[in-house]
Structure 1
Amino acid sequence: MNFQLTDERQMLQDSLRRFLADRYTVAARTEAIADPSGYSPAIWTQLADLGVLGALLPEAVGGYGGAGFDIATVFEELGRAGVVEPVLDSAVLCGALLCGLGDAQPSPRDREYLERLVAGDLQLAFAHGEPTSRYERTWVETTATGDGQDVVLTGRKTVVVNAEAAELLIVSAREGGASGDRDGLSLFLVDPQAAGVRMQGSALLAGGRAAEVELDGVHLPHSARLGTAGGAATRIETALAAAEVALAAETLGAMETATRLTMDYLTTRQQFGRPIGTFQALQHRVAEMLIEVEQARSAVINAAGHLEDTPQTRDRHVAAARNLIGRTGRHIAEEAIQLHGGIAMTAEYELAHIAKRIVMAEHRFGDADTQMERFIDLSAA
């Protein structure tokens, strides 16, 4: 496995880092969080113009990347800057679902949506998690039943990130099988304004917005289905694997920023007439943080390198990375806050936002304990 970035990825990383350093200030982020949509439409358009969204999708569907290292390169920079725009949910998760990676090729309709997504003209949200599903990937109780020429969706989805801003929801529903079965799952494109769709939105702790979505007898044509009836499990698992690699890389970038802010603070904060960073006990704690960051980097590289592997191997490496990132991320956030003291909890100080994103990232798609259970199960299979 080659750990060096290609020339194209290095250029992407450099340009994205410069853009975020110039444009994504603490004030800009605060303004984005306060926006009714939960993000900055202007920043979203600029990311699309920079080619960031296209880097997350394969060339066959209008992008120019989509591999594990493309995703990791982009999201490490997004995490480093604490970006709240819904790149993960709209571009990675929903983009992979529309692509049909590991499944059939996208239809002309879906290709048009992908082109609009790459251009920054389309917002999407994946309505998959349910109140009883916890972290089970195929636990879906929402039903899709035939009614003449229509399909009728009934159920409830929880914490649907970016739902309020989305032009379309991609909704998972069961056309057969029991609640936790892989077989019987389907995906549907749903207009949030359709009759029977109700939303209750709220702000997320680490930025952005999500909504509880209730589907009360939503009538759709059969053409609203993505892929084959009852065969969406592979699409869902493939999309979630890409999203977990993105989230791991984003957390790595946030950990780097938390560590940098801590080192900067220790070299400027004075006590007893000298910087507190000269105290050996604090130096040892920072050294441990740096080691943890490098371990996390190795885990992200490993997961990104196996994203195109067989599903069992891919998911085993992703679970291992997410477990390590969850544990080390929590440690980095706690150490950064403790070494800063009270200023770390000030909303106007960057670390407050970065630490929240690190901690909350663990709870998406499965916390450290859940990832360990997945890794053990996949290793024994």
Structure 2
Amino acid sequence: MNFEFNEEQMMLKDSIVKWAQDNYSFEQRCVSADSADGFSRAHWATFAELGWLSVPFAEQYGGYGGSVIDLAAIMQEFGKALVTEPIVPTMVLFGSALSGATNETVKSEVIPQIIDGTVFGALAVYESQSRFDMSNIITSANNDSGSYKINGAKSVVLGGGLADKLLVLARTSGEQMDTDGLSLFLVDASDSGVSKATYSLMDGQLAADITFDNALGVLVTELGEAYEPLNDSLQNAQVALCAEASGIMETLNLTTVEYTKTRKQFGVPISSFQALQHRMVDTFMAYEQVKSLLVGTLCELTDDKTSKARASKLVNALRTLTAKNGKLIGDEAIQLHGGMGLTDELSVGHYVKRMMMINLMFGNADFYQERFNNVSYA
């Protein structure tokens, strides 16, 4: 069986590699990360021009019509480049949730704006009491003469500070922990009822705590039935995050091996020490395990015969292995670089921080391990 990316996917990957080599050195990346926005708007415009922002969207909205495999292909390269641009908040999270919505009027208006780079979006789901439970929602949406008014607060909204549009999960009926009664709404971030507190996360990405006070929302899903569709839509986003993490793991391994060939102790490169060779083999195998499970998951997700339960089981397994092996690779990269691995002047620490944040998005290793244990194949 052929597990290689096809020609078009390789062209997408190569275009990102070439662009990063010419325009995104570690020093250039740091300049973008230290700007007021935390990224370069000029680079974002380039992403749109080159068609990268169109990859996961259907052709009817002007998209590339790519599958989850196409999305994973580009996310691996974005992970290797360690881009600070809001690919995950806008294209992956906001875009995935919007693609799974049922309001065609909103989709036809907003998705083309994501593709051409004129709109930044954010997905506002979790609240301070939610932990990793997407059904634990207090934020409410009440029908007021045909319009929905949203009240409540959302925590750690990725990309929320700079977002033009927000997709907000709110309760329209039921109790706090019910999966029924949840609806998804599109909210204009400039609405007078929206207030934000923006801050930087450990990896330099921006997030925001957002409060809604009678903010006007447009219903984009069936009333009270957003939980399952949103959960399904975010499945591809979960895989995309793991693909990004695999790109980071590969880069960390290559960087660490190269460093051990130049760092000398007792007059010889430390790469000649058998104990360190064993540790580098362990990290290489850890990356290969994640890579193999990622490929297997992609194959299953694009197979029409794969059941929903099996797909969920595989994604949970992938998230668990990515978190556990990612921690091993990150820890070893830091330690084998010595004190330098902790400095901001070296790229290693930045890659590790980004991987740590990925491993906490929507749940940690223990959370996904438990979900894996509790989901049976069907």
TM-score, normalization: structure 2? Answer: 0.95
- Corresponding letter in the other structure for 1:177: G
**How big is the shift at 1:214?**
0.8
Instruction: Measure, in 2, the Cα distance between the counterparts of 1:353 and 1:347.
Output: 7
Alignment of 1:248-267 (within 5 A): 248-267=242-261
Q: 1:346 aligns with which of 337, 343, 346?
A: 343
**How big is the shift at 1:289?**
0.9
CA deviation vs aligned residue, 1:146-192 (integer Å, no higher than 9, x gap): 22232121111000011111111111101112223222111111112
- Corresponding letter in the other structure for 2:224: G
Answer with 51-60 or 317-326: which moved more: 51-60
- Alignment of 1:238 with 2:219, yes or no, is no
- Alignment of 1:312 with 2:309, yes or no, is yes
- Alignment of 1:365 with 2:366, yes or no, is no
Alignment of 1:103-142 (within 5 A): 104=102, 106-142=103-139
Verify the 8 A CA contact 1:68 1:306 in the aligned structure 2: no
Instruction: Measure, in 1, the Cα distance between the counterparts of 2:135 and 2:313.
Output: 17
Partner of 1:286: 280
Instruction: Measure, in 2, the Cα distance between the counterparts of 1:44 and 1:310.
Output: 37
Partner of 1:90: 90
Q: 1:211 aligns with which of 196, 208, 211?
A: 208
Verify the 8 A CA contact 2:96 2:237 in the aligned structure 1: no
Secondary structure class of the residue paired with 1:214: strand
Verify the 8 A CA contact 1:316 1:379 in the aligned structure 2: yes
Instruction: Measure, in 2, the Cα distance between the counterparts of 1:116 and 1:218.
Output: 22
User: How large is the Cα RMSD of the aligned pairs?
Assistant: 1.6
CA deviation vs aligned residue, 1:130-160 (integer Å, no higher than 9, x gap): 1111111222211111222321211110000
Number of corresponding residues: 375
CA deviation vs aligned residue, 1:93-119 (integer Å, no higher than 9, x gap): 21122222xx63x52332121111111
Q: Which runs of 5+ in 1 are unaligned?
A: none
**How big is the shift at 1:306?**
3.1
Verify the 8 A CA contact 2:137 2:171 in the aligned structure 1: yes
Answer with 143-152 or 277-286: which moved more: 143-152
- Corresponding letter in the other structure for 1:126: L
**How big is the shift at 1:60?**
3.4
Answer with 274-283 or 322-331: which moved more: 274-283
Verify the 8 A CA contact 2:187 2:216 in the aligned structure 1: no
Instruction: Measure, in 2, the Cα distance between the counterparts of 1:3 and 1:50.
Output: 26
**How big is the shift at 1:310?**
3.8
Instruction: Measure, in 1, the Cα distance between the counterparts of 2:351 and 2:282.
Output: 19
- Alignment of 1:56 with 2:56, yes or no, is yes
- Corresponding letter in the other structure for 2:297: A
Partner of 1:13: 13
- Alignment of 1:149 with 2:143, yes or no, is no
Answer with 153-162 or 53-62: which moved more: 53-62
- Corresponding letter in the other structure for 1:266: T
Alignment of 1:167-178 (within 5 A): 167-178=164-175
- Corresponding letter in the other structure for 2:157: V
Instruction: Measure, in 2, the Cα distance between the counterparts of 1:311 and 1:207.
Output: 35
- Corresponding letter in the other structure for 1:291: M
Instruction: Measure, in 2, the Cα distance between the counterparts of 1:142 and 1:311.
Output: 29
Alignment of 1:22-61 (within 5 A): 22-61=22-61
Verify the 8 A CA contact 2:97 2:234 in the aligned structure 1: no
Instruction: Name the CA shift for 1:377/1:7 in 2 (closer, same or farther; >3 Å).
Output: same
Verify the 8 A CA contact 1:96 1:235 in the aligned structure 2: no
Verify the 8 A CA contact 2:106 2:220 in the aligned structure 1: no
Instruction: Measure, in 2, the Cα distance between the counterparts of 1:16 and 1:33.
Output: 19
Secondary structure class of the residue paired with 1:38: coil
Partner of 1:324: 321
**How big is the shift at 1:18?**
1.3
Answer with 255-264 or 22-31: which moved more: 22-31
- Corresponding letter in the other structure for 2:150: L
Q: Which runs of 5+ in 2 are unaligned?
A: none
- Corresponding letter in the other structure for 2:201: L
**How big is the shift at 1:380?**
6.9
Instruction: Measure, in 2, the Cα distance between the counterparts of 1:127 and 1:369.
Output: 23
Identity of aligned residues (%): 37
CA deviation vs aligned residue, 1:299-340 (integer Å, no higher than 9, x gap): 211222333544322211110000000000000000011111
Secondary structure class of the residue paired with 2:287: helix
Q: Which has the higher contact order (CA 8 A, sep 6+)?
A: 1
Verify the 8 A CA contact 2:309 2:377 in the aligned structure 1: no
Verify the 8 A CA contact 2:75 2:243 in the aligned structure 1: yes
Deviating beyond 4 angstroms after TM superposition, the runs of 4 or more aligned structure 1 residues are none
**How big is the shift at 1:368?**
0.6
Answer with 235-244 or 287-296: which moved more: 235-244
